Amino acid sequence: MGLEELGTLLDGLELSKVVIEGDFNAHHPSWGPVRNTHRNLDMGVSVLSFATSRALLIWNDPNSISTFRRGDWESWIYLTMSSTEVAAPHTWKVVENPLSDHNTIIFQTGKQTVPNVQKFSLNPHSLKKAARYFTTNVGNIMHMIESAPDNAAVDSAVEYLTEKLKETSASKLRIAPKGRAPVHWWSPQLASLRNRCKALRRRAARAGSAAEKEKGHIIFKRERAKYRRALLVAKRQSWSGYCKNAGKEGLWTVPYLIGYGKYRTPQVIGAVKDPNGCLTKSTTDYHCHH
């Protein structure tokens, strides 16, 4: 299987997480020493370009033992790569296999630890307040950096600047809400259509000849039109359902009052004690004692 066939297979699978392991018959310093061979580096460059264009991470350690050995001949042509969504391997190593010319590759994947980054809402008013506060408290930072006698002093100034930025953000900026607001009309069918459109667009962009590229764009535009039409239908059906439910209760009652800010909650009359010391339980009892 060549790189083009592998790319077509990946596009057809439409997977966001993938691990690829195989004999690519390609040499490159990125994954191992380059020996004198009838194969030049062109294939290695092609494999590296293929991995880079698809955001695939090559796990091989260029300092490992060879992946193939026959007599005095060694080569590093077996590659392990994965999509960026897959966590980097906890371990990747080559183990000598005395029963075969092909050494054994052992790797283990694990979850990535992603730091929790605080996000803030950056509206113009808040940014101006934060800028004034930051300028007032860190006015001498440039002087600290310019007059730093050594690298350690520069590092200290940068750490001070970072802490002040965090302090300013925490005190003057509002924390942004996490995630997007849920869309009640979204469905798994729409998600499938969207993913298909993305895959067809990638396939058309990576087509080899101009004719294949044009054909791919035609197919992509046709599927995109279906996706947009499905979006419009879903939105209209959702709005129609809302209007029907609101119409059952009366358009000029609660929805109208809420829309114009005139809705008021019913007044609650507190209970009072009658001459016998008992609390009233209804408006009739309340009026009888007033």
pLDDT tens column, 229-250: 999 999 999 888 877 776 666 6
Q: Which of 42-56, 86-100, 149-163, 227-241 has the largest mean confidence?
A: 227-241
pTM of the model as a whole? 0.38
Selected residue with higher pLDDT from 69 and 249: 69
Which pLDDT score is estimated for 210?
86
Cβ(178)–Cβ(116) below 8 Å = no
Which pLDDT score is estimated for 90?
64
Res. 40: pLDDT tops 70: no
Res. 119: pLDDT tops 60: yes
The 3-state DSSP class for residue 36 equals coil
- Flag the least confident range among 24-28, 33-37, 198-202, 221-225: 33-37
Which pLDDT score is estimated for 176?
77
Which pLDDT score is estimated for 281?
61
Which pLDDT score is estimated for 91?
77
Which pLDDT score is estimated for 145?
78
What residues does 16 pair with on adjacent strands? none
Instruction: Collect all residues with Cβ–Cβ distance below 8 Å to 47 and sequence separation of at least 6.
Output: 3, 24, 26, 28, 79
Query: pLDDT band at 219, cuts 50/70/90?
Result: very high
Res. 115: pLDDT tops 70: no
Q: Rounded to whole angstroms, how far apart are CA atoms 65 and 37?
A: 18
Mean per-residue pLDDT of the chain: 79
Res. 287: pLDDT tops 60: no
Q: Rounded to whole angstroms, how far apart are CA atoms 76 and 24?
A: 10
Is the Cα torsion angle 94, 95, 98, 104 positive or negative in sign? Answer: negative
DSSP H/E element including 128 = helix 124-137
